[in-house]
Amino acid sequence: MRILNSKAIVLVLFAISAFSVSAQISWKPQEAPVELPLQLFHSPQSLNLPTAETLQKGDFEFEISHRFLPPVKNGSKDLYGLDGPVNMRFALGYAVTDNFVVTLGRSNADDNVELKGKYKLLQLKESFLPMLVGVQAGIARNTQTFGQVASTGRTYQYFAQLIFNTLIEKKFGFGIVPSYLYNSNIYKTDVQSSFTLGLNAQYYISTLVSVLAEFNPTVNGYLNRYNSAAFGVELETGGHFFKLMLTNNAALNSTQYLAGSDKSFSSSDWRLGFNITRLLKF
């Protein structure tokens, strides 16, 4: 009887001390993990088409872009297009919030000035097919037309785009950008409009280089002769994106490239072009 009881006491004491030793550190990780925004494509823009990416609130993004008008196949007499003439664009974007960017841009083609806004609507953080859905819309005024326009009102153009993006395994980016353009050709007697189904794809080879391509066929409405396509290379450094491309479409501003191309992609009427964007923080 006594042996049984002393054994019981020893067991109880052992249990207490064992319990106390294992309960020395009561700390458990407390901090809730930080919620990061979903980020897919690295740049807010493909070649001409937008991606659903926006900037951080307060950021500015400066863009300068060229499309060399003579096709590359004209050869050395036009320095493969570099001799020009050239369609150029410069633009300044500003992030009003983390999800909303406003951009003012100007192209020398018809002295088109455009004001557009891009809003990131949805973030879907799936592990395999994460998705971003955005919307972009804008208004443009062609301030120096070279031909006759029916009325001053016809110098204004409008556009709207839905942007669906995904990025697979952090390497393969895909975008679908259904687009609508109102007053596609300001010189036509009647107002034209166009629906296009923009498609873009990008493969991120390294932290510096990626390859990308775009196809923007007109599915309904007015088309200026040929569907647009482009392909090229993107270099990403700390703060800059350099895009070098070949494309049949020499237009840069949204209400102009969405109307289609004057030259054919399949006939290899490709032009050299580049976009340079720089992130600015003041």
Which residues are near other proteins by CB under 8 A? 1, 4-5, 8-9, 12-13, 16-17, 20-21, 23-27, 29-31, 33-34, 36, 39, 42, 55-56, 59, 98, 170, 207-208, 237-239, 279, 281
- Least Å distance, CB 205 to other proteins, is 13
120 contacts 52 by C-beta, under 8 angstroms: yes
Q: Which two tokens stand for residue 120?
A: 């990131």
Q: Measured from the CB atom, is 31 or 190 closer to other proteins?
A: 31
- Least Å distance, CB 145 to other proteins, is 38
- Least Å distance, CB 98 to other proteins, is 8
156 contacts 141 by C-beta, under 8 angstroms: yes
Q: Measured from the CB atom, is 169 or 190 closer to other proteins?
A: 169
Q: Measured from the CB atom, is 12 or 124 closer to other proteins?
A: 12
276 contacts 65 by C-beta, under 8 angstroms: yes
Sign of the alpha-carbon dihedral angle for 249, 132, 242, 59 = positive
- The dihedral formed by the CA atoms of 224, 217, 54 and 208, expressed in degrees to the nearest 10: -110
Burial of residue 116, with CB atoms counted within 10 A of its CB: 0-12 exposed, 13-18 middle, 19 or more buried: buried
For 182, how many CA atoms within 13 A lie in the half-sphere containing its CB? Answer: 13
46 contacts 202 by C-beta, under 8 angstroms: yes
- Least Å distance, CB 38 to other proteins, is 11
Q: Can you tell me the distance from the alpha carbon of 37 to that of 254, in angstroms, rounded to the nearest whole number?
A: 27
- Least Å distance, CB 112 to other proteins, is 28
- Least Å distance, CB 177 to other proteins, is 22
Q: Can you tell me the distance from the alpha carbon of 181 to that of 242, in angstroms, rounded to the nearest whole number?
A: 27
Q: Measured from the CB atom, is 26 or 76 closer to other proteins?
A: 26
Q: Is 9 left (phi over 0), alpha (psi -120 to 50) or beta?
A: alpha
Q: Measured from the CB atom, is 15 or 219 closer to other proteins?
A: 15
Q: Measured from the CB atom, is 68 or 119 closer to other proteins?
A: 119
